[in-house]
Chain A
């Protein structure tokens, strides 16, 4: 199984780390590595999450992460490529 790095932009509000960590634990996925840091925008933080997941399981983790209200955007960083895969499953509000 290959390691994948997810770059997750979250709202900079209390409890967000617990939400993300809790999601991994209750859906029975492991976090290999995790770092949290600021972004240029003081209202958001960036989490880099390294997971040992592929294919379907990876897609599910991304989809479930995206359901968290405080998660704004998820990018999958692919090694040796310039372009990240942007998982934008939250299109604009449509009526």
Chain B
């Protein structure tokens, strides 16, 4: 134990928690903490907006599997963290946010820069704290890191009153954390594994419905073994891209609103969904009452509240997925040795759909650039070790569809909250967490204009990310819906971003290299030039055709049975034996 002020105790606690980097901006209430940060071993990256700090912490966490840390002052500093923390909650990302609060005597008086950030974040944060006594700081930090990183990961906020940072205290970091009301389960019950294996051997149309939980649990290797053991098809949701190699013959791709015909149909026609770390999100199920109506469900998850939330589970496997899948492997092996169902017909049907309805796109007849082509070439040229971060919208769907993901933690996006502006700061955090990897942000021109200020942070802090702006001068996904559902009345979706701003100039102004490309024949050379620059961030303005749409599509609220492969074009079901 040693005497120090609360601020030093905070920084010593963060060091004890193993923090090596944090993203933030100082201000009045958090100012005492910035003095010991100045001499700490923790690298503090000074961002340009607190939202950038939050998404950077998320990107760092997604890539490393460690807890991402962001720090801000009270009031507006803290409220600017709300969006990234809600984002981290929806995508189950371990993030700890530290905020300064007005002095404890001023709390509740509408003091300057006062906002009840604990109250504001209560609905979505996994947990949060308001600390007014400096003696409570080490315990709050230890608990925050424990809660954020165990069970179903999520964001935890620690709000600390300024006077608690200033007062003297004894520093002692707890050697362990025990919370009466929080004991996440690691190993699944033996009976649940037996029941699951039993269901698996009774199924002739099983499919692995793989969600982001597999990546969170670092269970990709176990999944590969289990999938190959059973020889059943695999679908990977938007949050699970990379959990199972895209190149694997059993992988049918992404299910859901913009999923492949094979993946959507596999779920629809299955008699058993082997659900691993997925949550039956509406973007996957479509109209729930018509989703996979003939399927039984095995639901393996670490969060008990997900079991049966949207879809009844015939067998619930509650536990950490790494443990659960590892336990399933020998159980399924033993069950299959006694009774191996014949999956040949099922696999033949699914492979036929995969071959008949591959992802594709129309090349614009006027010679302009197809956005899908740009993204496809980015994936091919930069290779499977590259980390991609996308914003939200059409470019996000194309980045999920047309890049082949072979490894977990190489695909970052805002899946649950759908946060436009996620890509640039998340890519920044990813590059800090994986400095030796190439990190590409695939961003839209709308998204890019929400958070590009962090390129200044990247340029000044030697964080050489690469940004591909898929510039269709529109809020493209909204425009697509206006095309399909609002008779082409394009209300407020034209951004005119091929005119203003000049993205390469904007990039140059922020200390990056700015490139531009609008012809298909220049795409490869432009990407290669961007790949050759590693001492500065690079921004490429890919000026693409405006009217490209994301296909296939299941309209919001529609049944997955009504998937369209192009406008008013359903798959030819009559020619498929299903």
Chain A residues near B (Cβ < 8 Å): 10-11, 14-15, 18-19, 22, 26, 56, 59-60, 63-64, 66-72, 89-95
Contacts and interface: CB of A to CB of B under 8 A. Distances in A.
* Interface of B, helix, strand, loop or mixed by DSSP: loop
B127 interface: yes
A26 B123 contact: yes
B330 interface: no
27 contacts: A11-B180, A14-B130, A15-B119, A15-B122, A18-B122, A19-B122, A22-B122, A60-B305, A63-B305, A63-B307, A64-B305, A66-B304, A67-B305, A69-B147, A69-B179, A69-B181, A72-B180, A72-B181, A89-B304, A90-B181, A90-B183, A91-B183, A93-B184, A93-B185, A94-B185, A94-B187, A95-B187
Interface in B147-193: 147, 179-187
Interface string B302-322: 011101110000000000000
A13 to B, nearest CB: 10
B118 interface: yes
Contacts of A22: 122-123
* Ranked 8 nearest A-B pairs via Cβ: A63-B305, A72-B181, A69-B127, A94-B187, A89-B304, A72-B180, A69-B182, A94-B186
A91 B184 CA distance: 8
B185 A67 contact: no
Nearest to A90: B183
Contacts of B181: 10-11, 68-72, 90
B132 to A, nearest CB: 10
A18 to B, nearest CB: 6
B107 to A, nearest CB: 11
Contacts of A56: 308
Contacts of B187: 94-95
A85 B443 CA distance: 51
Contacts of A69: 126-127, 147, 179, 181-182
Contacts of B122: 15, 18-19, 22
Nearest to A89: B304
Given A15-B119, A66-B304, 14 more contacts: A15-B130, A26-B123, A59-B308, A60-B309, A63-B305, A69-B127, A89-B304, A90-B182, A90-B185, A91-B183, A91-B185, A93-B184, A94-B187, A95-B187
Contacts of B123: 22, 26
A55 B324 CA distance: 27
Interface string B121-153: 011001100100000000000000001000000
Contacts of A90: 181-183, 185
* Interface of A, helix, strand, loop or mixed by DSSP: mixed
Contacts of B304: 63, 66-67, 89
Nearest to B118: A15
A20 B118 CA distance: 14
Contacts of B305: 60, 63-64, 66-67
A93 B151 CA distance: 11
Contacts of A66: 304-305
Given A22-B123, A69-B127, A69-B147, A92 B183 contact: yes
Contacts of B130: 14-15
Contact of A93 (B186, B303, B307): B186
Contacts of B303: 67
Contacts of B119: 15, 18
Contacts of A19: 122
Nearest to A91: B185
Contacts of A70: 181
Contacts of B147: 69
B314 to A, nearest CB: 15
Nearest to A60: B309
A93 B309 contact: no
Nearest to B323: A94
B166 to A, nearest CB: 21
A89 B184 CA distance: 9
Contacts of A18: 119, 122
Contacts of B184: 93
A92 B183 CA distance: 6
B546 to A, nearest CB: 39
Name, among A56, A63, A72, the residue most crowded by chain B CB atoms within 10 Å (CB to CB): A63
A12 to B, nearest CB: 11
A88 to B, nearest CB: 10
A69 B154 CA distance: 12
A94 B302 CA distance: 13
A18 B118 CA distance: 11
A21 B126 CA distance: 16
Name, among B122, B181, B186, the residue most crowded by chain A CB atoms within 10 Å (CB to CB): B181
Contacts of B186: 93-95
